[in-house]
Amino acid sequence: MSGYHIHVQDLTMRFGERPLFNAPALDFKQGDVIYLEGDNGTGKTTLMKVLAGLVKPSSGTVTAANRQRSFSQPNPLLGYALYLHQHPYLFDGDVSYNLKLAQRYSKLPKAEQLQRLDAAIELSQLGHLLKSGAANLSGGERQRLALARTWLLKPQLLMLDEPISNMDRVSQQLVFAMIGELKKQGTGLLLSSHQDSALFGLCQQRWLIESQQIRVSEIRQPLAAGE
Ligand SMILES: Nc1ncnc2c1ncn2[C@@H]1O[C@H](COP(=O)(O)OP(=O)(O)OP(=O)(O)O)[C@@H](O)[C@H]1O
C-alpha cells in the first residue's frame, strides 16, 4: 500500500451483548471521498473512532499503511486519520489563538503555513471574529473554526462527523466549500450524515450502515457540463 490508506478486515463492533455493525472489508485512502450514511444510533461515530484508533473494535483488524508501531507511537492509528467530532472542542481564548495553536502542530514549510492560515480565515469567513472568545461563538461558527484549524494541518485523511448538520445555510455553504477545497487537494474524506445532504454530491463511494452491516457501493455522479 502506498500513500495514506486504512484497511479494515473482518470488523465487528458490539457494546456488551449488543451488536452494532460488522464489515468484511473497508478501504479508506487518500483521494477517496466517502459518504457514511446511517440512521441515528447505527454507529457512524463509533466507526470513525475505530478508524481513528480511539476505540478498539470487538474483533477484526484496522491497519494504517506505512505506519509502524513504536515505543513512542504504540497505536499506529492515532493521528493517522484526523477525526473531527460533531461538537468540536475549542480552547479557551479567542479565535486567533485557536488557529495559532493548531498551526504549531503543522509540519508544513512556514510560507505554506501562512498561506493556509490566510485561506482558512477567508474560507471560514472568521476574519471579523478573530478577537472574539471561542466560547462565545455560535454553533455554526464553532464548526467553521474547528474545520479551519484542521485545514491548517493539510490532513491526508480526514473524517468529519455530521459536518453540516444543525447549521444555517451560510455556514453550510462555507463548510461545503472548504470540504470541496480539501477534496481538490487530494485529502481522503469520510463524511457522515444521518439524512440526505448536499455532501453526497461530492462523494464517489457510499458506506451505508443498515441492519448492522456496512455496505459499500460506488456513486456515479452526473457529469458536469463540459465533462
Ligand atoms: N462507549 C459506549 N458504550 C456503550 N454504548 C455506546 C458507546 N458508544 C456508543 N454507544 C452506543 O452505540 C450506538 C451507536 O452510537 P454512535 O454515536 O456511533 O451512532 P451514530 O450513528 O453516530 O448516531 P447519530 O447519528 O445519532 O450521531 C448508540 O446507541 C450509542 O448509545
Cα angle: 152, vertex 183, 45; to 5 degrees: 80
Give the pLDDT confidence score for residue 226 in this predicted structure: 64
Q: Looking at ligand 1, which atom is closest to the CA of residue 86?
A: 27
40 lines ligand 1 (CB under 6 A): yes
Give the pLDDT confidence score for residue 136 in this predicted structure: 93
Interface predicted TM-score of the whole assembly (ipTM), two decimals? 0.97
194 lines ligand 1 (CB under 6 A): yes
Q: Looking at ligand 1, which atom is closest to the CA of residue 43?
A: 18
193 lines ligand 1 (CB under 6 A): no
Cα(41) to ligand 1 centroid in Å equals 5
Task: Please choose from 15, 21, 22, 214 the residue to mutate so as to test ligand 1's pocket, defined by most ligand atoms within 8 A of CB.
Answer: 15
44 lines ligand 1 (CB under 6 A): yes
Query: Assign residue 179 a region: left if phi > 0, alpha if psi is -120 to 50, beta otherwise?
Result: alpha
Cα(15) to ligand 1 centroid in Å equals 9
φ/ψ of residue 35, rounded to 5:
-100, 115
Per residue in 85-138, pLDDT tens? Answer: 988 889 999 999 999 999 988 989 999 999 999 999 999 999 999 999 999 999
Strand (E) or helix (H) holding 44: helix 44-51
Q: Reduced to 3 states, what is the DSSP secondary structure of residue 43?
A: coil
- Are 205 and 33 in contact by the 8 Å Cβ rule? The answer is yes
CA pair distance 184, 164, nearest whole angstrom = 19
Q: Which residues of the chain have pLDDT under 70?
A: 1-2, 224-227
Give the pLDDT confidence score for residue 2 in this predicted structure: 63
Question: pTM of whole model > 0.90?
Answer: yes
Q: Looking at ligand 1, which atom is closest to the CA of residue 162?
A: 27
Q: Where are the alpha helices (DSSP H) in 52-168?
A: 95-103, 110-124, 139-152
Q: Looking at ligand 1, which atom is closest to the CA of residue 48?
A: 18
